[in-house]
Amino acid sequence: MTAAPEGTGRVGSGSEEAGVEPGEAGSDDFWAFASERFLHEWAPGVLQAQNTWLSSIDSLRAPDRKTHELIRMVCTVILSQAAGVERHARLAAEVGATWDEVAGSILLTEPAFGILPATEAFPSARRGFKAGAALFAGESAEAAAAADNELDDEDEPAPGSPQT
């Protein structure tokens, strides 16, 4: 995988050098956010300014990185953004957040925003947490994905068993 050009927010394999555009068949390039692809094409200066701004926020010394990711996760819970919940739960776990911290942060949204956004966020948060916790423990991405699949199977009740 090659580094993206400075300030693009893109991670890629270098396939664009072979004439394959990001997102086309044969490309394994991806954008952290769907909007980045269009900003890269139509307003690259806006994308670069946005990435610079976000990098400045990421470099804040306080709160610590774990709290930073938990706060961002809670914001995405409130907005019902499942992909954001998963991403920030993963990032929080990668820097040492426990499942209790992730789940507790989600539950703190209930008094002001209701139970629905919180309960809808749990599957995404769990997926992200499992992936991030595996990486935090030093497992490879492949091992983390395999563990995630095993844990998903354990989360499901056995056929014919009473659900609790």
Residue ranges per domain, the chain? 10-58, 65-155
CATH of domain 65-155: 1.20.1290
Bond from prior residue into 157 cis (ω within 30 degrees of 0): no
Question: What is the average per-residue pLDDT within 150-158?
Answer: 48
The tens digit of pLDDT for each residue in 3-39 reads: 344 444 433 333 333 343 444 433 445 566 677 888 8
Q: Using CB atoms within 10 A of its CB, is residue 158 exposed (0-12), middle (13-18) or buried (19+)? A: exposed
The tens digit of pLDDT for each residue in 72-100 reads: 999 999 999 999 999 999 999 999 999 99
Residue where the block lists tokens 């056995």: 158
Residue where the block lists tokens 């563990």: 147
* Cα distance between residue 137 and residue 150, in whole Å: 17
